Structure 1
Amino acid sequence: MAVGELIEDIFGRAGVTASLHVVDIDAAGAGDQVPASGAARPVGGGREVALRADEQVVIASIFKILLVLEFARQVDAGQLDPTERVLVNAADRLGGWGLAGCADDAEVSLRDLAYFAMSVSDNTAADLLLRRVGADLLPMLAAELGLARTRIVGGPRELVEMMLTDVGARTEAEFARIFPTLPAERIRAMPVFDPQRTTSSTAREITRLLGLIWRDEAGTAPACAMVRGWMARQLFWTRLAAGFPPGVRVAGKTGTLPGLHLEAGVAEYPDGGRYAIAVFARTDELATRRIEVDLAMGEAARVAVEALRGE
């Protein structure tokens, strides 16, 4: 069975539709497409596996890779002090993990905001870091890196405010009460699920971004190393990381919205092989916790990488 058929079967058994792009970071000419219907093979000197890789999709928290990259570049250029202190109070807290759960004011450094944004996808940390970095710079960074189809529309706070407005809620507590009562078609019509109206990209562009970071081409070597270090400390392991055997190091960044299970990352093998991966899965159900979907993402990623490695 061709690699594309194997991957489609994995996604089909999990009940999802997904776009996937996996590329050998160090292959000359990486970026040439391997059709999903055929076996993975060298094409024009590059090596990749692609499945709906050019479909525009919502990327949710995966935008935080660009955010911390811009932060790292500014730190390395001497424009920001990573030890600068930030006071996080009740008005700053957004839903999700990390600082949002604090009962009291907390003081952290800019560097620790970047760590929390990547390790536990902390929306509060990302929002505060974005204010300091400058939200207007992220679209410019995407353009500089050749990510022509990557759209950055605000940050976590804008996303939350958009969702509150769309359901007519004044607070997050009110939103939590209203949202579960809405029919699925009403939810899917919300702007946050429309790639043309919210932050979005393609699987191919996100693996391009990862390749640039891992080859020290997205900024200086120290800046790129900072981003790799934060991605390696992500705590969520049930998606891409779950698909690979012990000894393979996986650094990644998840993104999640109801019905959307996303992750982008890099698998590094003991023999030096490095593979950029983006898997963006959509489910009919609007649950955010579906372990079978997470595990299917990891399995599909491993199958694609093994095909590139000739295994």
Structure 2
Amino acid sequence: MAEVEREFAALGARVRLHARCVDCGHQTGTGADEPVVLASVVKVPLVLEFARQAAYGQLDPAERVVVRQTDRLGGTGTAGCLDDVEMSLRDLARFALSVSDNTAADLLFRRVGVDTVRLLVKELGLDSTRIAGSPRTLLEDVLRDVGATDPASFAAVYPALSPERIRALPTMDPRRTNSGTARDMTRLLALIWTDRAGPPAACALVRSLMAGQVSWHRLAAAFPGEVAVAAKSGTLPGVRNEIGVVRHPDGGRHAVAVFAEVRDLGERRPDLDAAIGAAGRTAVEELRGCCGQPPSPRRTA
């Protein structure tokens, strides 16, 4: 893993990485127990809690929800709609994982309860994971921090903020936002992929929705087409994350979590996106063979 650390350092970034075999638990990584900002990765335990409640009959996944203009938080998905949108709770979950829709995630948090997601991560033994709040709660924390009254006034103030001030925002501090560790996230994925995170139907739904993530340019891009990748990304200024499960045709399954903290606050860093995928592949290749599958051939380029 030392070479992975050097590669990220050369890109002006710090990496926390963990990978584990889903079936035997063999592990590798670097900085795996250091706290990291989850960003949109938090949508995985959120959707898992929704899926569990649906499986237990505590809510109807077809329940209709109207996404109104006042609900919109920016980003992708329903944020771009010009009119009110009506969809099911199940489709809110799909939007939250497939296109990382912040508004969908916020409405889902409102329905299933922030406290129940906190209880879930405790139940699953994710001892280093902290659920601070929903997307709207975190946005309100940022608005208060900079003295903005609403998202529009924050958008006007943001360009004038220094990089140091941006890094000091509550959403950038693991102690004040949704946070966890790379090791916790691969544990979460391994539990989902082995039906130990809840009823099998709930785990299957999360697996299916993660397999439908539209963004494939980080972890999935590093593997050939015959390797299945189900993943969830997370992005903030200076933060680039990806967690997922990689399944080879021979049945080998490995959970991977890569968290990159970047000095450059720019939105477009394809070099870092590629480095995240490469780091995940390096970790998986190190573990290949742990359950009897043939080791991956070493790449020469």
Measured in 1, the distance between the counterparts of 2:198 and 2:236 equals 30
Shift of 1:15: 2.4
Shift of 1:290: 1.0
Amino acid at match of 2:93: A
Deviations 1:21-60 (A, max 9, x none): 0111111xx2xxxxxxxxxxxxxxxx21110000011101
How many residues align? The count is 290
CA contact (8 A) 1:261 1:288 kept: no
Shift of 1:171: 2.3
Shift of 1:173: 2.2
Report what 2:19 is aligned to.
22
Measured in 2, the distance between the counterparts of 1:159 and 1:239 equals 25
CA contact (8 A) 1:11 1:18 kept: yes
CA contact (8 A) 1:260 1:288 kept: no
Matched, 1:133 2:109: no
Matched, 1:202 2:199: no
Amino acid at match of 2:8: F
Measured in 1, the distance between the counterparts of 2:46 and 2:13 equals 29
Report what 2:45 is aligned to.
66
Amino acid at match of 1:229: S
Matched, 1:241 2:220: yes
CA contact (8 A) 2:13 2:261 kept: yes
Measured in 2, the distance between the counterparts of 1:48 and 1:145 equals 18
In structure 2, runs of 5+ residues without a counterpart are 289-294, 297-301
The 5-angstrom pairing of residues 1-311 of structure 1 reads 4-27=1-24, 30=25, 47-309=26-288, 310-311=295-296
Measured in 2, the distance between the counterparts of 1:17 and 1:284 equals 9
Shift of 1:114: 0.2
Report what 1:39 is aligned to.
none
CA contact (8 A) 1:252 1:266 kept: yes
CA contact (8 A) 2:35 2:181 kept: yes
Shift of 1:10: 2.8
Runs of 4+ in 1 over 2 A off after TM superposition: 12-15
Report what 2:291 is aligned to.
none
Measured in 2, the distance between the counterparts of 1:268 and 1:131 equals 33
Amino acid at match of 1:180: P
Shift of 1:13: 3.4
Let me know the Cα RMSD of the aligned residues. 1.0
Measured in 1, the distance between the counterparts of 2:207 and 2:215 equals 16
TM-score (norm 1): 0.91
- Secondary structure at 1:50 match in 2: strand
- Secondary structure at 2:87 match in 1: strand
CA contact (8 A) 1:10 1:300 kept: no
Percent identity, aligned pairs only? 57
